[in-house]
């Protein structure tokens, strides 16, 4: 049996309402079933997610279905899948998203053509009956460039602000070079340290056009909708981003971008925290204060002055606490 062209890592929890569509679209990527290896991870589902994975696995020449008795989180589940990659290319897919036909066929061809570490694409968000195109924030298409050159400027949206693991295809050497794994145990924001490490340490990438990946928004079981303790993981994720950048030879160049991102995400999560229980909200504020305290005072001050009024007001109390403790 020949080696598959691409391995698709598909973790899901309680995605039975949608995952049939997700899996069906994977059968329409190439002319034969041997081109795709499906690695599906049932992360502690209580519905028929695992049964649907097993059913569709029979339609692929290469497939593995893993099951976690209790949920271990998206980061850990993706890492489990990485250990089963075959072939020169792999990608990620979530259980409530789907691909247009031949997306992977096109991406495999582009990855070979450019001989780069990874390719990235736009995506389409779907909310109810509405669809919207989200462009990858990079000024060049079909051009191989250094991932480091796609991190700045700090005051604009760039590729590290586009952390979606499923929006692209990756060469096997990304695994071999230790750049594919996610921080174990993170339930949210696991893609933030992952995208920073990828852009700081990979050699080459390109943004390309391809048939779309469609991303459902507003799904009730999605962690983006949760307002429980798992949301505190974003502060831990940004701690890891700070540590990754601090170890880089050009840390001074990139820390202003980290400071801006940390403040923007902190403001977003503090607004969401208004609907949390008071004790959990207090934990969120303390986690943010501790994380921001790790940033250089000057960079934090400059980034805070550039915030718009609403964000600055949301963060004002925490920023005063950080400044007094410095």
pLDDT along the chain (326 residues), means of 10: 94 96 97 95 97 97 97 96 98 97 98 98 94 97 98 96 98 98 91 98 98 85 57 93 98 98 95 89 94 96 92 94 89
Helix axes 191-201, 233-246, angle to 10 degrees: 20
Same domain, 99 and 173: yes
Same domain, 196 and 238: no
Question: Residue 26 sits in which domain range?
Answer: 6-223
Tell me if 200 is assigned to some domain: yes
Per-residue model confidence (pLDDT) at position 227: 58
Determine the Cα–Cα distance for residues 280 and 52; give it in Å rounded to an integer. Answer: 36
Q: What 3-state DSSP class applies to 34?
A: helix
Q: Which of 223, 238, 272 is at the close of a domain?
A: 223
Per-residue model confidence (pLDDT) at position 185: 83
Same domain, 102 and 156: yes
Q: CA dihedral in degrees (196, 120, 172, 150; nearest 10)?
A: -40
Per-residue model confidence (pLDDT) at position 128: 86
Tell me if 1 is assigned to some domain: no
Contacts (Cβ under 8 Å, ≥6 apart) of 106: 208, 210, 211
Contacts (Cβ under 8 Å, ≥6 apart) of 30: 5, 36, 102, 104, 105
Contacts (Cβ under 8 Å, ≥6 apart) of 218: 127, 128, 225
Query: Number of folded domains in the chain?
Result: 2
- Residue 229 · residue 118 · CB < 8 Å: no
Q: What 3-state DSSP class applies to 173?
A: helix
- Residue 266 · residue 292 · CB < 8 Å: yes
Same domain, 219 and 234: no
Segments of the chain assigned E as strands: 6-12, 36-43, 62-68, 89-92, 98-99, 118-120, 123-127, 130-134, 168-171, 205-207, 213-216
User: Hey, what are 142's tokens?
Assistant: 């079909």
- Dihedral pair phi/psi, residue 204, rounded to 5°: -160, 150
Same domain, 232 and 275: yes
Per-residue model confidence (pLDDT) at position 274: 86
Q: Which of 198, 223, 248 is at the close of a domain?
A: 223
Give the rounded distance of the alpha carbon of 86 from its chain centre.
21
Per-residue model confidence (pLDDT) at position 326: 78
Helix, strand counts (H, E) of the chain = 11, 11
Q: Which of 174, 208, 223 is at the close of a domain?
A: 223
Same domain, 263 and 215: no
Same domain, 37 and 90: yes
Nearest to 11 by CA among 21, 19, 2, 3: 19
Per-residue model confidence (pLDDT) at position 219: 57
Per-residue model confidence (pLDDT) at position 86: 97
């Amino acid at each position: 049996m020949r080696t598959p062209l691409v391995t698709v890592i598909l973790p899901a929890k309680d995605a039975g309402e949608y995952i049939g569509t997700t899996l069906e679209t994977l059968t329409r990527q190439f002319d034969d079933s041997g081109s795709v290896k499906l690695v599906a991870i049932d992360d502690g589902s209580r519905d028929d997610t695992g049964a649907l994975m097993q059913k569709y696995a029979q339609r692929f020449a290469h497939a593995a279905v893993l099951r976690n008795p209790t949920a271990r989180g998206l980061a850990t589940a993706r890492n489990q899948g990485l250990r089963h990659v075959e072939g020169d290319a792999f990608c990620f897919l979530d259980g409530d998203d789907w691909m247009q036909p031949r997306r992977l066929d096109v991406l495999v061809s582009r990855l070979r053509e450019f001989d780069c570490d990874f390719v990235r694409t736009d995506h389409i968000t779907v909310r109810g009956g509405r669809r919207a195109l989200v462009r990858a924030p990079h000024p060049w298409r079909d051009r191989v460039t250094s991932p480091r050159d796609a991190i700045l400027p700090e005051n604009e949206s760039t590729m590290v602000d586009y952390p979606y693991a499923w929006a692209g295809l990756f060469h096997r050497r990304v695994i071999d070079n230790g750049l594919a794994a996610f921080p174990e145990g993170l339930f949210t924001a696991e893609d933030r340290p992952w995208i920073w490490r990828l852009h700081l340490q990979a050699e080459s990438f390109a943004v390309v056009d391809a048939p779309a990946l469609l991303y459902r928004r507003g799904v009730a079981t999605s962690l983006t909708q949760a307002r429980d303790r798992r949301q505190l993981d974003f502060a831990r994720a940004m701690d890891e981003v700070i540590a990754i950048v601090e170890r880089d030879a050009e840390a001074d160049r990139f820390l202003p971008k980290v400071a801006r991102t940390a403040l923007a995400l902190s403001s977003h999560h503090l607004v969401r925290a208004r609907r949390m229980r008071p004790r959990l909200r207090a934990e969120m504020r303390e986690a943010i204060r501790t994380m921001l305290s790790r940033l250089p005072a000057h960079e934090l001050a400059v980034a805070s002055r550039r915030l718009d009024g609403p964000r600055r007001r949301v963060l004002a109390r925490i920023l005063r606490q950080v400044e007094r403790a410095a």
